[in-house]
Amino acid sequence: MGEGPKVSMPARRKARKRALDVLYEADMRDQPPVEVLAGYLQRIERPLPDHIDYTTSLVEGVAAHLDRIDELIASYAEGWTIDRMPVVDRNLARIAIHELLYVDEIDDPVAISEAVELAKQMSTDDSPRFLNGILGRIAEFATR
């Protein structure tokens, strides 16, 4: 499942950023992520960048496993309900948890650090620490 090792780390980061854009929009509009992805793919410039396949696999993977992913977030987000989490954080967590559970070629520390890096760029000052904590707990307990 997912892309093989031929996708470089910077390309995967771009793919995650695009997946976040799609999942954020789907979340805000309360629309299915795969529908939002289809519209997103129509809007971006051609030729499509190489990393778009990984973006697609992330969005489709999160959408396919959303109930399980959100159940894990709810279980491990100490003191937070999923609805109270910032939208960016909720969707970064979804991407990382998908990678932790379903993308074998991504090592757990990489999935976590990538989510934390994107949170530093795009969310609140508290978000990197929050995501690092929840994702670390999920990696430790839920992926074994």
pLDDT value of residue 142: 75
Mean pLDDT of 34-60: 94
Looking at the predicted structure, is the pLDDT value of residue 138 above 80? yes
Q: With respect to residue 93, please indicate whether it lies within any of the assigned structural domains.
A: yes
pLDDT surpassing 90 at residue 135: yes
Which tokens belong to 15? 């793919």
Q: How far apart are the first and last CA of the chain?
A: 18
pLDDT band at 143 (very low <50, low <70, confident <90, very high): low
Q: Give me the pLDDT at residue 79, please.
A: 80
Inside any domain, residue 4: no
| Bigger pLDDT: 120 vs 143 | 120
Residue 2 lies in a domain: no
Bond from prior residue into 128 cis (ω within 30 degrees of 0): no
pTM, whole model, 2 decimals?
A: 0.92
Please give the tally of structural domains in the chain: 1
Predicted confidence band of residue 1 (pLDDT cuts 50, 70, 90):
very low
Gap between the Cα atoms of 45 and 60, Å rounded: 21
CA distance readout (Å), 21 to 2, 17, 33, 109, 128: 19, 6, 10, 23, 18
Q: What is the CATH number of the domain that holds 116?
A: 1.10.940.10
Flag whether pLDDT at 4 surpasses 50: no
- Which residue range is the domain that position 92 belongs to? 9-141
pLDDT score recorded for residue 8:
79
Residue 7 has pLDDT above 70, yes or no: no
